[in-house]
Amino acid sequence: MSCGHDHSVEFLPEAIIGQKVENFVLEAFDPEDCGFCEVDLEKIQKEGKWTILFFYPADFTFVCPTELADLATKHAELEKLGCEVVSVSTDTKFVHLAWKNDERLLQDVKFKMAADPTGEVSDFFGVYDPETGLALRGTFIINPEGVLVSSEINFYNVGRNADELLRKVEANVYLKDHPFEACPAKWTPGEKTLTPSEKLVGKVYEQLND
């Protein structure tokens, strides 16, 4: 999947949790320098970063700017955790530029806004709706090794919560350095984790409350 570029790579039929995501390149608008650029998954990985892909249906819509504005409030914290945040829709980079300039809710957006006009990348991640040509609200977390570790897909009418995205990233970053542990429900940094073993079977309450 080359997405308009001459990259001869064979892709998995779909993105699968726990498996490596092959490289893709998308054109994008970068609000930081008000210019156009490329989002290259392989390049992000070479920089040792996590990748957050934030798919949404379309520019100049209604729920979408509230989501991007919410994501912008957590952008700095996600960057500190080593993440490259990228929003993606099937609009072109030129529409992204116009929307960013027109919509006041987007005034604090600094992450790259990628364009997937063919729907190829959206389809790979399972969020492309062929009936509308739009992407559903999908959030994907890819670790620095290129492995997909988290997937969330909402229908058009339900917006997401950047607080929960941040919590999931914090948990995944922690577990990358502590691979033999597991994070229980609602885990946040500093709270107890679980260490799966035969001794933990039927004794989760005790481990969390001792």
Residues with active-site annotation: 64
Q: 3-class DSSP state for residue 124?
A: helix
* Tokens 């990259």, residue located: 7
C-alpha to C-alpha distance for 51 and 42, rounded to whole angstroms: 10
C-alpha to C-alpha distance for 87 and 67, rounded to whole angstroms: 10
Which uninterrupted H or E stretch holds 55? strand 50-55
| Closest to 142 (Cα-Cα) out of 66, 207, 93, 84 | 84
CA 132-23-28 angle, 5° bins? 55
Contact partners, residue 60, CB within 8 Å, separation at least 6: 95, 99, 102, 103
C-alpha to C-alpha distance for 117 and 133, rounded to whole angstroms: 9
Q: What letter would DSSP give residue 9?
A: -
